[in-house]
Amino acid sequence: KRIFAFSIRKDEEPYVKEWAKAHPEIEVGYTDELLTEKTAKYAKDANGVVVYQQLSYTAETLQALADLGITKMSLRNVGVDNIDLDKAKALGFEITNVPVYSPNAIAEHAAIQTARVLRQTKVLDEKIENGDLRWAPTIGREVRDQTVGVIGTGHIGRVYMQIMEGFGAKVIAFDTYQNPELKQKGYYVDTLDELYAKSDVISLHVPATKDNTHMINSNSISKMKDDVVLVNCSRGALVDTDAVIKALDSGKIFGFVMDTYEDEVGIFNADWRHKDFPDKRLENLIHRSNVLVTPHTAFYTTHAVRNMVLKAFDNNCNLINNKPADTPVAY
């Protein structure tokens, strides 16, 4: 049997080879190109495909795979928000993802950036680089003095909660599904409004769905405490960027951690050094000393990437052998 993988980056290649070596019975092919309607043909004769991209898996792209007889697709990442799931269903696709490749990768990044905003490290770095070694007015806020509100208590949210608690923060949480252990320990507040009202730091750890687009907007921000720190290492679509900019301008928001951006596709993970920067709004955010922009790199660790590749190939191998995969996407 044969598995074909799309958009394999250089840093993933060793893990593809590691998996292929451990599975000599499977022929493994791959390309560094994204899966599109046009490139689908590279997977000809494969039984399944392993994929990751932020570009949409459109109806046409899925149809092109189905025309080759391929309907078993394993994502190397967690999010499924860029797949035309109606079309996938109509074509009978079986899809797997890797929901838990390394919650720590994202949670650690979110925690580090939260602490950096609280200690104003970007302001200090800029001052120091310019020879200004004075303390004031760059005074820090200690994590232990903050109430940290976590929205979404899945694997990533829970690790973030532990790290922030390790620093001594008071942690509260909101989720539509309440984890029994966290519930028993009394972490949950009943409403988002309550979380907004009580939190000094708010960190998002929920997937993007059609119901939570721009859940952080002018209205929700108005319910937050003054000087709130907002952390989004989840999905750009959750945050109304214009509303956040207004709140940064007015001083309502103390700092913003932004690893994801609603218009990031085609901009993040690209080199703009010798080209005109394509997004003025993003450029404006990048240059603010209380905004920490990272280009969707919270996940990007050696631990995570290895798991993403190995688990996606394991899943696809199960699918093409008609065995139950560990993490099928229910849709």
Kindly state the smallest distance separating residue 221's Cβ from ligand COI, in Å: 24
CB 148 within 8 A of CB 125: no
Q: Which is nearer to ligand COI, 74 or 77 (CB)?
A: 77
- Minimum Å gap between C-beta 28 and ligand COI is 20
Count other Cβ atoms within 10 Å, centred on residue 142: 12
Q: Give least dist CB 134 to ligand COI, A.
A: 39
Which residue, 61 or 146, is less far from ligand COI as judged by CB?
Answer: 61
Residue 330 per-residue DSSP state: P
d(CA 97, CA 76) in angstroms, rounded, equals 6
Smallest gap from residue 215 Cβ to ligand COI (A): 17
Shortest Cβ distance from residue 50 to ligand COI (Å)?
Answer: 13
Pairing of strands 27-30, 2-5: parallel
109 labelled catalytic? no
Report how far residue 116's alpha carbon sits from residue 202's, in angstroms, rounded to the nearest whole number: 14
Between CA 52 and CA 219 the distance in angstroms is 35
Cβ 78 to ligand COI shortest distance, Å? 4
Classify residue 35 by its DSSP letter: P
- CB-nearer residue toward ligand COI: 199 or 327: 327
The vertex-102 CA angle with 220 and 195, nearest 5°, equals: 20
CA distance 199 to 173: 10
Question: Least distance to ligand COI from the beta carbon of 220, Å?
Answer: 22
Q: Toward ligand COI, which CB reaches closer, 141 or 311?
A: 311
How is 222-238 classified by DSSP, letter by letter?
A: HTSPTTEEEEE-S-GGG
The active-site residue, picked from 235, 281, 283, 287, is 235
Is the Cβ of residue 13 or residue 165 nearer to ligand COI in the bound state? 13
Cβ-based neighbour number of residue 83 at 10 Å: 22
141 part of the active site:
no
- Other beta carbons within 10 angstroms of residue 176's beta carbon come to 10
Does residue 235 have an active-site annotation?
A: yes
Catalytic residue among 94, 158, 264, 306: 264
Among residues 141, 155, 296, 306, the one annotated as catalytic is: 296
User: Which CB, 79 or 328, lies closer to ligand COI?
Assistant: 79
**What burial letters (b/e) apply to 301-330, b meaning 16+ CB within 10 Å?**
beebbbbbbbbbbbbbbbbbeeeebebebe
Q: Could you give the CA distance from residue 241 to residue 262 in angstroms, rounded to a whole number? A: 8
Q: Which residues bind ligand COI (CB under 6 A)?
A: 52, 77-79, 296, 299
What span, in angstroms and rounded, lies between the C-alpha atoms of 44 and 3? 10
Q: For ligand COI, which is the closer residue by CB, 184 or 269? A: 269
By annotation, the residues acting in catalysis are 235, 264, 296
